[in-house]
Structure 1
């Protein structure tokens, strides 16, 4: 069973998941990165360009999903180094620091809250430029218009996006658009109307994009 709540860390989400017999499920691209706890391990989930399907659903999971673009400042490395990867935190930080944090989470009654507190201890203030970038792309602005609004050249915008999100602004826009569409469809909006409201040319365009990013038809995700 999966559950989540808003975090005290701006834009973040604290979540927990105890997979059922069907497995952990398909993790869709969302422009975010996560700090994870599972079976005594601290891990980091990098940004995804396509759906991630866990090989095995072992034990309970807890996580802190950072707001888009926020995790690199906390981790101290650009997002593209973790693109489509899940790595142990000890590969990124000194082993002694990770052992201390691992013990802290292991002692906690609520691992998700412990992850949240760790993130709050080390989080940097949100970068206003990245916040505006995500808001504009999520509102459906064209990438060129976003670059002009932010006062950045195309190369600068691409470089900043790769460091913050793992990929360029066009890919981020596709990911955010898919998430908008799924939210509308899950709320009961018909797929044809969902396509228009989310910014697709038509329903076939929506179907192609969801299949490309999620690996399954949109109807499969809604089931």
Structure 2
């Protein structure tokens, strides 16, 4: 698992954010107001709590300006452990987490919850973020312990692929974990949601966005990330985000009343994951809570 953060937004108007594909699944444990998520080729989903599976294209999230809850970022294989659903069924989808099978259905009462919705209500009722994080630590540990174990080889292969930014050839990756390419593809689709080639494509573009945000040129970024040329980078960027590399980077850095990606507003620390399309104003700026204001590590 990657981490989680508390969210409390109090803007004076609606906000729309473009969320680029990342090497993670997302579980938003909402406390009150809904979010509307739109993905290409699918009807919009308006939900208070949201599970978003592994993605190959961008999504647009919208809310009315007020939003509170906890966002949990999961390694794709960890999402498989929590929900037990083949992750290829959830690729590029946004669903209510209680529509998925999960072992959180303990009898309600005390510190046990019959649904994700009941867990969210228990979290919202606590007086502060420290108490919420403590409860969530316990809930996630129990949930994962009762879930579907992920294959150690899948975890190893994912870590290797992620560590190379999607650069390692698939046959070599399969050989390193002791599987055939076909076996690796089958297990990756089940527990990651994407085949290794598609997962590498997402991770490679994630690295490219990070390099561009750091000031690297498109030509240097294309070469560093293994694209054939700058045109190849541009095609992949547009296909997966709907933006050109220059357009995405420029929009993130353009002066505006509320910056497109204020410090701490990225879904993954150190990455370029998001682009605010219609910022609201907030006074003071909306705090994103975690340990010392950072993403809080998850147990396990």
Q: 1:17 to 1:181 in 2, by over 3 A?
A: farther
Match of 1:118 among 135, 139, 142: 139
Whether 1:137 and 2:164 are equivalent positions in the alignment is no
Aligned residue in 2 for 1:198: 225
Cα deviation, residue 126, structure 1: 6.9
Match of 1:23 among 11, 15, 19: 15
**Bigger Rg, structure 1 or 2:** 2
Cα deviation, residue 16, structure 1: 3.1
Worse overlay, 90-99 or 129-138: 90-99
Give SS of 1:60's match.
strand
Q: 1:24 to 1:126 in 2, by over 3 A?
A: farther
Instruction: Flag the structure with higher helix content.
Output: 1
Quote the Cα distance in structure 1 between the aligned partners of 2:177 and 2:97.
33
Give SS of 1:219's match.
helix
Instruction: Flag the structure with higher strand content.
Output: 2
- The TM-score normalised by the length of structure 2 is 0.63
Cα deviation, residue 68, structure 1: 3.5
Q: Which runs of no fewer than 5 residues in structure 1 stay unpaired?
A: 1-9
Q: 1:71 to 1:193 in 2, by over 3 A?
A: same
Matches within 5 A, 1:97-108: 97-108=115-126
- The TM-score normalised by the length of structure 1 is 0.83
Whether 1:63 and 2:71 are equivalent positions in the alignment is yes
Q: 1:102 to 1:17 in 2, by over 3 A?
A: closer
The structure showing larger relative contact order (alpha-carbon pairs under 8 Å, at least 6 residues apart) is 2
Quote the Cα distance in structure 2 between the aligned partners of 1:83 and 1:190.
31
Match of 1:90 among 91, 94, 98: 98
Q: Which runs of no fewer than 5 residues in structure 2 stay unpaired?
A: 33-47, 106-112, 252-300
Quote the Cα distance in structure 2 between the aligned partners of 1:211 and 1:190.
17
